[in-house]
Structure 1
Amino acid sequence: MNQNLQELVIDALEGVKAKDIVTLDVSGLSDVMDTMIVASGTSNRHVKALSDNVTHEAKAAGFQPLGVEGADRAEWVLVDLGDVVVHIMLPATRAFYDLEKLWSMRPDDAQKEQS
């Protein structure tokens, strides 16, 4: 089911022309989710449209979002679909928080960086 949900999210993002879609397997790092999908929008309006499409397509397929955060400002919108969490951001916000690097690090990587 998780794979189907991932594909649905990616299709929904691609359908509204999301930029730089990245899928991260975080199952070994989090008990809350298995997959994180990160994508960029070109403007606040685009970020909002992307999150709206992901939410709409998920509901149409029978997946009820657990929550949507940040849609009011649309600089960074989080769509929580349970096992899959989607982060849609403006490029500057995405570069600043660098979630891909943060969630790709393993505990032994963090110790190496501190040395």
Structure 2
Amino acid sequence: MTQENTPDPAADGNDALLALAVDAVEELKGESVQILDVHELTTIADHMVICSGRSARHVKRMGETVITNAKQAGLSPRVEGLEQGEWVLIDLNGVMVHIMQPVARAYYQLEKLWDMDAAGAENQSAH
């Protein structure tokens, strides 16, 4: 990735953070990349990026790439789970990046947890 393609998080706020995260996971062929807009549901982040890696090594490498790109952009990301490589969580202060192995992703189903539109529709149809 060249310097011209690296978004400036200070310039565009969370859109630049989101682009930084998505570019990093797509650069290393992250699978089933999902972007969730959660700004109305929580104060911990405006967006969540969820993707899968094929192995612990792939998950770790994608996490390292997100971290490196964030640091190059002047950020200090908070990171959990990088050593284990099953589920890496990277907090970019406005964008949360979840990089998971397929088994962990299927088990935790974060997309369903944060999809309040679907949950609301289920609750309305139950009444």
Fold equivalence (TM over 0.5): yes
Whose radius of gyration is greater, 1 or 2?
Answer: 2
Runs ≥4 residues deviating over 3 A? 106-115
Q: What 5-or-longer segments of structure 2 have no aligned partner?
A: 1-12
Higher RCO (CA < 8 A, seq sep 6+): 1
Q: What 5-or-longer segments of structure 1 have no aligned partner?
A: none
- Aligned residue for 1:97? 108
Match of 2:88 among 47, 58, 77: 77
Q: Identity of paired residues, percent? A: 44
Report the RMSD for the aligned CA atoms in angstroms. Answer: 1.6
Q: Deviations over 1:11-55 (max 9, x none)?
A: 111111111110000001101110000010000000000000000
- Structure 1 residue 111 displacement after superposition: 3.6
Change in Cα spacing, 1:42 to 1:81, as seen in structure 2 (3 Å) is same
- Aligned residue for 2:28? 16
1:53 aligns with 2:65: yes
Whole-angstrom distance in 2 between the partners of 1:114 and 1:74: 39
Count of equivalent residues: 114
Whole-angstrom distance in 2 between the partners of 1:44 and 1:112: 40
What's the TM-score, normalizing by structure 2?
Answer: 0.83
